[in-house]
Amino acid sequence: MKIGIDARMYGTGFTGIGRYVNELITNLLEIDNKNEYVLFMNSPEYEAFDIPWKNAKKVLVNARHYSFAEQFRFLSLLKKEKLDIMHFTHFNAPIFYKGKSIVTIHDLTLHFYPGKKMTAAHRRLAYQLVIRSVTRHAKKIVAVSENTKSDLVEILKVPSDKISVIYEGVDKHFKEIADESVKKEVAKKYGVIKPFLLYTGVWRSHKNLVNLIKAFSYLKKNKDFEGQLVITGKEDPLYAEIRATIKDLGLESDIVFPGMVPDEDLPALYNAAKVYVFPSLYEGFGLPPLEAMACGTPVAASKAACIPEVCGQDNAVFFDPYDPVDISDAILKIWLNDELRQKLIANGKVRVKDFSWKKMAKEILEKYEEVGGRDEAEGMSKK
């Protein structure tokens, strides 16, 4: 078959989905040398990406999400390639594309938390139109968790049997580091001078950073807590309330902002953290807690959405993400109890073995074969 993959979000600059696309392509092409792959990419990732596989090629699209170029230029390129199957790795797709397709739906965040970039009515309308179109036309939908599948069924009325839950994986470079000097060096590099709590991710309303900061202010009042909070990710000026909360609570000297931490430093930063905190109000999958577990770091996590499903009930201490006191209590429970820390670390290392990018790629390849073989099967049944 000739299979297209929407790789416009390829690369770590796109955080979670970028990693998904990266791992999907890498693992698919390692296990499949029968099918031909066409990777549709934007600049600058297109220019930077060297393809080491003979059965793959890249096509330059340069079409941003929600743009006219996405709906028309991308559509034209898809038609030109005469694909047997197109895999849209995110819901943004040309609504007039009628070829066979599979779509991965990571979450329905924009239904619940549209964010400050989606305030315009035309943008919300475009989102509704595109996601309903792609889920209706796709032959199969891949959901990254049971929670996302449930949302698709309840909110978009997608038939349950059209959706397959295929979990993401944890990259093997997220692992425990025994060398204490490596941990100290990465902490020093980013200006961390005390034991610390770690958050990794984007700055969006559903990430719940304001309540995390309020919880940290409660921790600072406890005589048994002496630590810093490290919040990674690119600062977004649209979410000025994050900095304002820090200033109001007088926490400027206790919270560190390293910005976007490169992949080569991230495992060491996870390793160096005393507790990893994941306070989200909503997630489709939630990869960072698993990355932390793989690095031997105990996790305090929100009990919202898919997070307990992914973490597993006995592998993290869960809290109510709407209650800063409950968040601080959960963190303190881990911070002060070494026996609990060791139990969470041991359980977490077992839990991450359930998630593999290679397994994900194999299961998605099965979906390609299932969808690609449909016409032949249907033709046989008609005879």
Q: Which residues contact 120 (CB under 8 A, 6 or more apart)?
A: none
Cα distance from N-terminal residue to C-terminal residue, the chain: 24
Do domains 2-169+356-382 and 180-354 share one topology? The answer is yes
pLDDT tens sequence across 267-313: 999 999 999 999 999 999 999 999 999 999 999 999 999 999 999 99
Identify the residue with better confidence: 110 or 339.
339
Predicted pLDDT of residue 113: 86
CATH 3.40.50.2000 fits 2-169+356-382, yes or no: yes
Q: 96 Cβ partners below 8 Å, 6+ apart?
A: 71, 75
The architecture (CATH level 2) of 180-354 comes to: 3-Layer(aba) Sandwich (3.40)
Whether the pLDDT of residue 376 is over 50: the answer is: no
Burial class (CB in 10 A: 0-12, 13-18, 19+), 220: middle
Q: Mapping DSSP to helix (H, G, I), strand (E, B) and coil, where does residue 37 land?
A: strand
Q: pLDDT (tens digit, 9 = 90+) per residue, 90-128? A: 999 999 999 999 999 999 998 888 876 666 677 788 889
What are the structure tokens assigned to 179, written together?
Answer: 């060398």
Where helices occur in the chain by DSSP H, the ranges are 15-31, 45-48, 68-71, 73-81, 109-112, 121-137, 146-155, 180-189, 209-220, 241-248, 266-272, 288-294, 307-311, 324-336, 338-351, 357-372, 374-382
- Quick: pLDDT tens for 119-176: 667 778 888 999 999 999 999 999 999 999 999 999 999 999 999 999 999 999 999 9
Domain range summary for the chain, segments of one domain joined by +:
2-169+356-382, 180-354
The helix (H) or strand (E) run that includes residue 170 is: none
Inter-CA distances, 64 with 15, 58, 70, 114, 290, Å: 16, 17, 6, 18, 30
Q: What does the pLDDT read at residue 192?
A: 96
| 144 close to 165: Cβ distance less than 8 angstroms | yes
The pLDDT assigned to 126 comes to 86
Report if pTM > 0.85: yes
- Pairing verdict, β 163-165 and 140-143: parallel
Q: Which 3 state secondary structure label does DSSP give 161? A: helix
- The answer to whether the CB of 98 falls within 8 A of the CB of 113 is no
Please tell me whether residue 5 adopts helix, strand or coil conformation: strand
Report which of residues 65 and 305 the model is more confident about: 305
